[in-house]
Amino acid sequence: MIQNRKDDHINYALEQEKSENSFDDMELIHQSIPKYNLDEIDISTSFANNYFEVPFFINAMTGGSERAKSINQKLAKIADKCGLLFVTGSYSAALKNPDDNSYKIIKEENEHIKLATNIGIDKNYTAGQKAIEDLNPLFLQIHVNLMQELLMPEGSRNFNEWENNLKEFVKNIKNTPLVLKEVGFGMTSDTIKKGIELGIKTFDISGRGGTSFAYIENRRNGNRFTYLNDWGQTTLASLLDIQKFTEKVEIIASGGVRNPLDIIKALILGAKGVGISGTMLEIIENYSIEEAIEIVNSWKMECKMIMCALNTKKISELKNVKYVLYGKTKQFLENIRN
């Protein structure tokens, strides 16, 4: 049942222990004599034809069950109160069950929320059109989740349809921006090139380091393929590999983002926005709504604090910040450039 699967995803996402995070391989160079006051620093950004006062947002997570509905209600309230963009989980669950209101309730309870939504690349573009009709989102994410599908006994097996499906999304959906999104396995240059060829202008690279859907599907199905739990490229590795594309297309970073320091690091490497999923799920599990709102609002000021210590007044200046790489991330960059 879809409900059981969605609840399994939530349970195993909360259970998973993250052993490493690529953001720890990046050290920023501190500036001792600041140029700007905190109130001069601007953390606004733009991507997918929309302006946002805050560079981070709540990224796609869940939907399609009563527990998912409760989670979405909490996340949406935080997003609305904090002025954040909120992206729903895959809308396919609502398409399978017209009575499911775990998505629509977001807009019903938060009239002015900045909302986007998500659909799988295995779906026909008409599914995306229905999601747009129902939710009127700021943009539509089209997610690619190949390794997850491979590990799911009930997963898609018609992979040669994906490229044509994406072409049809681009061809038929004109008034709502499209974002091609990974789900925690990372995107490198080959995927960005192919996406550009197919007409995509905004990419969410969603790298390894946060919630692993390989781990989740292995937990659901007897841990048969645990050697694939760390499949894919980390968020930082993906960002470093696609540097030559950051001026040509819009890059959104997600995957393992834990705090404002990780957010700033992603922005330094060319991201226009930063999506957060697992960390937000943990926050609402461990804190009240009021406490969660306080934490998220604090992150806005903390982003400004870090930018102040880097002598940057706006996000576009972060690309000039000096940094040093260590460990596996440094090795990855050196090897992929050879």
Averaging pLDDT over each range in 4-18, 55-69, 310-324, which range is the top one? Answer: 310-324
> So what's the pLDDT on residue 137?
96
pLDDT at 8 over 90: no
Token representation of residue 156: 């898609």
The pLDDT of 105-117, averaged and rounded, is 92
Who wins on pLDDT, 158 or 249? 249
How far apart are the C-alpha atoms of 174 and 299, rounded to whole Å?
34
How distant is the alpha carbon of residue 315 from its chain centre?
18
For the stretch 167-192, pLDDT in tens is 999 999 999 999 999 999 999 999 99
Token representation of residue 207: 């790298």
Domain ranges of the chain: 2-337
For the stretch 237-292, pLDDT in tens is 999 999 999 999 999 999 999 999 999 999 999 999 999 999 999 999 999 999 99
For the stretch 189-199, pLDDT in tens is 999 999 999 99
Say what percent of the chain tops pLDDT 90: 77
pLDDT at 3 over 50: no
Asked if 12 contacts 219 with a C-beta cutoff of 8 angstroms, the reply is yes
* CB-CB neighbours of 220 under 10 Å: 17
pLDDT at 40 over 90: yes
Token representation of residue 289: 């709504």
Say what percent of the chain tops pLDDT 70: 97
Residue 17 burial (CB < 10 Å; 0-12/13-18/19+)? exposed
- Residue 1: pLDDT band with limits 50, 70, 90: very low
> So what's the pLDDT on residue 234?
96
In this structure, the chain runs to a length of 338
For the stretch 211-223, pLDDT in tens is 888 888 888 888 8
pLDDT at 120 over 80: yes
Handedness of CA 322, 328, 334, 338 (dihedral sign): negative
- Residue 19: pLDDT band with limits 50, 70, 90: low
> So what's the pLDDT on residue 11?
76
How far apart are the C-alpha atoms of 202 and 180, rounded to whole Å?
6
Amino acid letter at 131? A
For the stretch 52-89, pLDDT in tens is 999 999 998 877 678 888 899 999 999 999 999 999 99
Who wins on pLDDT, 142 or 158? 142
The pLDDT of 105-113, averaged and rounded, is 91
For the stretch 291-306, pLDDT in tens is 999 999 999 999 999 9
Residue 268, classed as helix, strand or coil, is helix
CA angle 278, 279, 280 (to 5 degrees): 90
Token representation of residue 78: 């935080």
Long-range contacts of 16-19 (CB under 8 A, 24+ apart): 16/211, 16/212, 16/215, 16/216, 18/209, 18/210, 18/256
H-type helices in the chain, by residue range? 2-15, 66-82, 92-96, 104-109, 125-135, 146-151, 162-172, 189-197, 213-220, 235-241, 260-268, 278-286, 289-308, 327-337
Fold exhibited by the domain 2-337:
TIM Barrel (3.20.20)
Token representation of residue 199: 């007409």
Cβ contacts of 65 within 8 Å, gap of 6 or more: 2, 3, 4, 6, 7, 93, 102
The chain-wide mean pLDDT, for the chain, equals: 92
